[in-house]
């Protein structure tokens, strides 16, 4: 069964966007994954299909209505649809490789793309939305964040990467950043490939890669080491 993502958005024309090319694009062409969009405004209220209203208690901006989003979600989910329901939100759980693997192992996801100041809190509770964030910053809407999430998930689906081993040693798969990579030419602008990589000693190569991954992680993301410890990065 193909991984099926349903994206609720006010801007369905943004999709598939970058998901239509490279690995994700080929996966969509083959049917390994399906990304369908639903227009939230189809469920808007009144002659002008209003989807938002002023925030209770006052303040700037507008808030997406709970009743509108509930109708959109209910229409997108068949009876017995057990796919996780996600809301792309800067206050959500950080998108990690662990979460990506969890989603890739499932049947798909329903993804709500917020706009304006946010969504009525009651829809999060009433429809069991899991808030997910791609970083500590604010975007104009959830569409780009949804594309980031879907790209990360689709590339892990069986058969999407030509070599299924390709993803095993990438950044975050071992809770470490990835080691440096080199290829031909052997020398470029006076810089050479580290001799260990051309030594033919596979054990030495693996030890060097682990040590470099540890060094780079300590320099750039010490929080990963603090969170997961400094054990064998190959584990």
User: Does residue 196 sit in helix, strand or coil?
Assistant: helix
Q: Where are the beta strands (DSSP E) in the chain?
A: 3-9, 33-39, 52-53, 63-64, 85-94, 108-113, 130-133, 187-188, 191-192
Which residue did the predictor score with more confidence, 86 or 172? 86
The region of weakest confidence among 150-154, 199-203, 228-232 is 228-232
Where in the chain is CATH 1.10.1270.20? 169-235
- Strand partners of residue 137: none
Residue 92 has pLDDT above 60, yes or no: yes
pLDDT digits (tens, 9 = 90+) for 155-168: 999 999 976 545 55
Query: How far is C-alpha 91 from the chain's CA centre?
Result: 15
The CATH H-level (homologous superfamily) assignment of domain 169-235 is tRNA(m1g37)methyltransferase, domain 2 (1.10.1270.20)
pLDDT digits (tens, 9 = 90+) for 103-146: 999 999 999 999 999 999 999 999 999 999 999 999 999 999 99
pTM of the predicted model, to two decimals? Answer: 0.89
The burial class, CB within 10 Å (0-12 / 13-18 / 19+), for 5 is buried
Cα dihedral 71, 37, 28, 100 sign: negative
Where in the chain is CATH 3.40.1280.10? 3-154
41-44 — which CB contacts under 8 Å span 24+ positions?
Answer: 41/10, 42/72, 43/68, 43/69, 43/71, 43/72, 43/75, 44/68
* Mean pLDDT confidence for 75-92: 96
pLDDT digits (tens, 9 = 90+) for 173-182: 678 999 999 9
What's residue 233's pLDDT?
40
- In eight-state DSSP terms, residue 57 is T
Q: Which of 38, 40, 36 is nearest to 5 (CA)?
A: 36
Contact call for residues 64 and 52 (beta carbons, < 8 A): yes
- Does domain 3-154 match CATH 3.40.50.970? no
């Amino acid at each position: 069964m193909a991984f099926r993502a349903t994206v609720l958005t006010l801007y369905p024309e943004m999709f598939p966007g970058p998901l239509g090319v490279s690995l994700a694009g080929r996966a969509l062409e083959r049917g390994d994954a399906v990304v369908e969009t639903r227009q939230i405004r189809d469920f808007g209220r009144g002659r002008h299909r209003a989807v938002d209203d002023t925030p209770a208690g006052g303040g700037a901006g507008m808030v997406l209505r709970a009743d509108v989003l509930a109708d959109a979600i209910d229409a997108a989910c068949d009876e017995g649809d057990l796919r996780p329901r996600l809301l792309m939100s800067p206050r959500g759980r950080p998108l990690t490789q662990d979460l990506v693997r969890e989603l890739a192992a499932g049947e798909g996801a329903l993804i709500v793309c917020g706009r304006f100041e946010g969504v009525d809190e009651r829809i999060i509770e009433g429809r069991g939305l899991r808030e997910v964030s791609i970083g500590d910053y604010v975007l104009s809407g959830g569409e780009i964040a949804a594309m980031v999430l879907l790209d990360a998930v689709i590339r892990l689906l069986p058969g999407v990467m030509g070599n299924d081993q390709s993803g095993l040693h990438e950044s975050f798969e071992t809770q470490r950043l990835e080691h440096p990579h080199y290829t031909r030419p052997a020398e470029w602008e006076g810089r050479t490939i580290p001799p260990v990589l051309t030594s033919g000693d596979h054990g030495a190569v693996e030890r060097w890669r682990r040590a470099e991954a540890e060094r780079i992680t300590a320099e750039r993301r010490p929080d990963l080491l603090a969170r997961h410890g400094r054990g064998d990065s190959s584990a």
